Structure 1
Amino acid sequence: MADQKGDGDVLDELARVLRKAPERPAVLRAGRNGGVRTAVTRGELADLAERYARALHAWGVGVGGTVGVAVRPGPRALAVLLAVHRLGARGAVLDPGAGPDVLRARLVLARPDVVLADATAQAVAGWARPLARRAQLALPDLAELGPVATVGPRWPGCAAPLDDGARSGVLPRPVDGDGDAAIVFTSGTTSQPRAVVHTRASLAAGMRTVAGLVRPVADRPVLGGTFFVLVPSLASGAPVALPARSPRALARQLRRLAPQATYLTPPQLRRVLAEGAAFTGRVWTGSAPASADLLTRVRRAGADEAWGVYALTELFPAAAVEQAEKAAYEGPGDLVGAPLPGVRARTDAAGQLLLAGPGARDRYLGETAEEWVATGDRGSVDAGGRIVLEGRMKDMVLRDAENIYPGLYEPALHVAGVELALLVGVPAGDGDERLVAVVQPVAGADEGAVRAALAAPLARMGTARPDAVVLAEVPLGGRSRKPDRGAAARLAAERLGR
């Protein structure tokens, strides 16, 4: 369970910082040809958060309330977060692209008092149609779940603006003390979604940990788009640039901005490296596995340091490792680093990694609070106290009555010329499986040279040596664009004629 809230709530500190030097830039956006422009100043962001707080207060949102949030990351989403935090409510993060059935199940579970959505989210979800008189959800059978309000510019058919007629009125004092702060949906079936509940204390602890890792310096830009980048950086007085979507524009943005710190996902790093990007300062990556080779390529592209971050929805961040340490590791599995301050790690009887700490989720919605987070990762803690992952518990491949855990061997396949590598099981009949390595070469790499480089690590795999190696682009899935093992297994089966 999360520790009690103490001093140093980063969101509270951010609200104070924004009122200092209000003319200074807060959020930067990529302009044309990779240029940078100010999207919003500190004062404008503070004013927007206060306006949203007044509007939500007028809607009746207060302590213990729930606000559904379907707003793209950026200044408006951050202002919504600050407004919800000030009122002591909790924000339920909604993905409008999840599909109507999944979205319906999640809304039934969260029961928000109001759903805030920008025009793009409403269009994706099918909400941007003529809506009911009370601007209720247009998806079938959702009218009883509460109203929708538009944040930002409206398109035809969008719900009414959030702040219609709510620009005045007295706001209550900012809420202090602990309580639910965020609901983030994770795994679970359509009919039985699972939602992670973070408290104000656990969010604050996670953001303090990020601030301690990144150590942002005031008035020097940071590049990244997640809340865990935006909030600690802005609270330290550093403006944050939102990454350009195009890899080519992002490469130009990095060159012109020269950020003190950069956070990009591994797929973003791979794409921008292919465009010849040059890095400055410290570079961080997470949300998907980051190989030692990828971190090494980032260092070679100019970064002072390149870090892989191990994190879960339930605990962000949990561990981190720098390129030099990861590249020097020669043991089995994937070294993700020592637990960060306050994080505790152990394994259960099945070899599953368990984590706990002040930044851990309080509970899953509708379930009782628990101290330890079951990660779903098979792992261990080595003699130096570092976490080594050995693959997902459910990713085990059964071949010839032997249990093979891909995570133990995949890091060794990331040799020179390899972008990504997965070990997957392909049905072979009678419940047995063939073990196949799906290897994605770096763009332009010679396939013969890649196979030659793989020979040594394959020979060292012993009884876990794959039955076949397929050179192909590894499928990615989900919002964080992680390697999709199911799709990779289907691809392997097709290539092998199974």
Structure 2
Amino acid sequence: MLSDFIGGLREDDDRPALPGVRRGELARLVRGYAVALQADGLEAGDTVALAVRPGARSLATLLAAYHLGLRIAVVDPTAGPDVVRARLALAQPRLVLADAAAQAVASWAAPLARRAHLALPSLTSLAPVRTVGRRLPGSAPALRRVAGAFPRPYEGEGDAVVVFTSGTTSRPRAVVHTRASISAGMTAVRDLVRPVPGRPVLGGTFFVLLPSLASGAPVAPPTGRNLRRLRPQAVYLTPPQVRAALAAGSRFDDARVYSGSAPVSAALLSALRRAGAAEAWGVYALTEVFPAAAVEAAEKGAFSGSGDLVGELLPGVSARVSDGQLLLGGPTAADRYLGSEPFGWVATGDIGRVDGRTVVLGGRAKDMILRDAENIYPGLYEPSLHVAGVELALLVGVPAGDGDERVVALVQPAAGVPDAEVRAALRGPLERMGSARPDDVVFGRVPLAGRSRKPDRTAASALAAALSTRAERAFPRRRRLTRPGWAGEAAARGKTDRGEP
């Protein structure tokens, strides 16, 4: 798909591509950067680190590198200098492409950048640097778009993208996607979203926007203004972005909305439909397998079994279960972790089951709670907690002091919904949880972390412990009105503290 898209770019194409950028300008940027990279001595198989803010220039450099057969290592400047240094040491780029802002963050603007939680090490100490876009004083030499014929496209196989996911400064971890897996993933996204030419698509990453561009649709960031002004055919949002948009009263009239990167509840998809979405999809995807499965709001809402229905496997994706863990494979799967052997199957870390091609998850294996020698997987039960009036809910383990754990449900009510109303709606689901029923239910805002703003279970456990302890001190367990305990008599009267400890 990418090769066809790059080869089809025309400098006289006046159709919109990105905000303020026509396809003809994108074509000139891609070809100019490809010529410049080749003139800088880069060859197929070389690694280029990319530290450029999202926009037309970063897209153009990524496409130019792909055209030449280069491998792009994506650099996140929010990770901190030690982490970035360790990641680049693992990737060993021959060249770093950075805009002036990224270089300023690593030099004269470092004090200001730290206040904004941005930090990069000195880029020049890691590899030669070229500035993409406007060059400020003190920046490295510009990657100049020199005159020359557009290089012939690289037609072989090999690595395409390195995406860092986790790990420590001593052992960073990065996912390596090949040209084949990137192409298969983007084809899968295109077939799922079905973009039509001419109508805008909103999203935040190139890996979901490029299939729309390749289909002839202009793309733009998923802001509230763009949602109102552009009336898009499709929108990509993470669950926290969906909740924020709904809280702001956004409408999704006639749009197909896709949400992923974190668990997507049936209640959230239903809320999107009520806000006008023609379709609302939960997408199950990992950095290692993008995408893997999808489910529409109606099907997810009708699911009454245990666990989290993430839908049908997308064409070509295969799945099996080993020791309770879901394993995935297929053309959209990455090749390996950088520095490791190729995958046989990708271990997702998710507990799950597969019925035909339907996948139901039971939570992360590492999130298992051990209470009274019983293994409790939160993902099996959390979907049932997302009743009307609940915005987000987690089951977390809280140390009991004797090696055992207590199970606490941390519930985040939707804005304006009384606690008493939420309690009443939760009684039935709690009764049906059997031996996994929580020892306490407390109200609070679920902590989020990471670029995708996933629930932070470690922080949630600490918050749940603090709220539960506070209620216990005010109302000792012998005086608690319900068992397993709600957060004290104050909770029974609808006065539970919903703030931070």
State TM-score, norm by structure 2: 0.89
**Residue range with higher mean Cα deviation, 428-437 or 112-121:** 112-121
| 2:177 and 2:335 in contact (8 A); partners too | yes
CA distance in 2, matches of 1:138, 1:92: 15
C-alpha deviation, 1:126, in angstroms: 4.9
Match among 175, 183, 205 for residue 162 of structure 2: 183
Aligned partner letter, 1:235? A
Aligned partner letter, 1:296? S
Match among 441, 444, 449 for residue 477 of structure 1: 449
Aligned partner letter, 1:200? R
Task: Encode CA deviations 1:166-201: one digit per residue, 9 max, x unaligned.
Answer: 512445311112111010111222201111111100
| 1:70 and 1:95 in contact (8 A); partners too | yes
Match among 134, 139, 149 for residue 121 of structure 2: 139
CA distance in 2, matches of 1:156, 1:437: 53
CA distance in 2, matches of 1:457, 1:125: 51
The yes-or-no answer on 1:371 pairing with 2:322 is no
Aligned partner letter, 2:312? A
Aligned partner letter, 1:275? A
Q: Give 1:286-297 correspondences, 5 Å limit.
A: 286-297=260-271
C-alpha deviation, 1:154, in angstroms: 3.3
Distance 1:178 1:127, change over 3 A: farther
| 2:73 and 2:162 in contact (8 A); partners too | yes
SS at match of 1:429: coil
| 1:96 and 1:125 in contact (8 A); partners too | no
CA distance in 2, matches of 1:360, 1:300: 34
Distance 1:156 1:447, change over 3 A: farther
CA distance in 1, matches of 2:108, 2:434: 55
For 2:188, the equivalent position in structure 1 comes to: 209
Task: Encode CA deviations 1:456-479: one digit per residue, 9 max, x unaligned.
Answer: 111111110111111111111000
CA distance in 2, matches of 1:240, 1:351: 40
Task: Encode CA deviations 1:130-176: one digit per residue, 9 max, x unaligned.
Answer: xxxxxxx9836x7553122222223443333222xx51244531111
For 2:141, the equivalent position in structure 1 comes to: 160
C-alpha deviation, 1:278, in angstroms: 0.9
For 2:493, the equivalent position in structure 1 comes to: none
CA distance in 2, matches of 1:312, 1:27: 26
For 2:484, the equivalent position in structure 1 comes to: none
Match among 221, 232, 243 for residue 242 of structure 1: 221
C-alpha deviation, 1:258, in angstroms: 1.2
The yes-or-no answer on 1:425 pairing with 2:397 is yes
Q: Give 1:311-460 correspondences, 5 Å limit.
A: 311-348=285-322, 350-382=323-355, 384-460=356-432
CA distance in 2, matches of 1:127, 1:480: 29
Distance 1:50 1:209, change over 3 A: same
C-alpha deviation, 1:125, in angstroms: 4.7
| 2:6 and 2:67 in contact (8 A); partners too | no
Aligned partner letter, 1:281? A
SS at match of 1:212: helix
CA distance in 2, matches of 1:11, 1:147: 27
For 1:3, the equivalent position in structure 2 comes to: none
CA distance in 2, matches of 1:489, 1:159: 45
CA distance in 1, matches of 2:280, 2:124: 48
| 1:421 and 1:439 in contact (8 A); partners too | yes
Distance 1:77 1:401, change over 3 A: same
For 1:122, the equivalent position in structure 2 comes to: 103
C-alpha deviation, 1:208, in angstroms: 0.5
| 2:81 and 2:120 in contact (8 A); partners too | no
Match among 235, 256, 259 for residue 232 of structure 2: 259
| 2:222 and 2:235 in contact (8 A); partners too | no
| 2:329 and 2:346 in contact (8 A); partners too | yes
For 2:433, the equivalent position in structure 1 comes to: 461
For 2:46, the equivalent position in structure 1 comes to: 65
C-alpha deviation, 1:285, in angstroms: 0.7
Stretches of structure 1 lacking an aligned partner (at least 5 in a row): 1-9, 29-38, 130-136, 245-249
Q: Rg bigger for which structure?
A: 2
C-alpha deviation, 1:255, in angstroms: 2.4
State TM-score, norm by structure 1: 0.89
Share of identical aligned residues, percent? 66
Tell me how many residue pairs correspond in the alignment: 462
SS at match of 2:409: strand
The yes-or-no answer on 1:225 pairing with 2:204 is yes
Match among 297, 310, 314 for residue 284 of structure 2: 310
CA distance in 1, matches of 2:426, 2:300: 19
Structure with more contact order per residue of length (Cα contacts < 8 Å, sep ≥ 6):
1
CA distance in 1, matches of 2:8, 2:150: 20
The yes-or-no answer on 1:269 pairing with 2:251 is no
SS at match of 1:412: helix
For 1:298, the equivalent position in structure 2 comes to: 272
Aligned partner letter, 1:376? G
CA distance in 1, matches of 2:155, 2:402: 60
Distance 1:151 1:127, change over 3 A: farther
Task: Encode CA deviations 1:23-80: one digit per residue, 9 max, x unaligned.
Answer: 111012xxxxxxxxxx210010111111111221122111010010112222122111
CA distance in 2, matches of 1:415, 1:372: 35
Distance 1:124 1:294, change over 3 A: farther
RMSD of equivalent CA atoms: 1.9
C-alpha deviation, 1:21, in angstroms: 5.8
CA distance in 2, matches of 1:321, 1:195: 28
Distance 1:208 1:465, change over 3 A: same
CA distance in 2, matches of 1:27, 1:123: 26
Stretches of structure 2 lacking an aligned partner (at least 5 in a row): 111-118, 471-501
For 1:134, the equivalent position in structure 2 comes to: none
| 2:397 and 2:461 in contact (8 A); partners too | yes
Distance 1:468 1:285, change over 3 A: same
Task: Encode CA deviations 1:220-277: one digit per residue, 9 max, x unaligned.
Answer: 1111121122211111111112222xxxxx1x43222111111111111110111111
SS at match of 1:497: helix
| 1:128 and 1:155 in contact (8 A); partners too | no
For 1:133, the equivalent position in structure 2 comes to: none
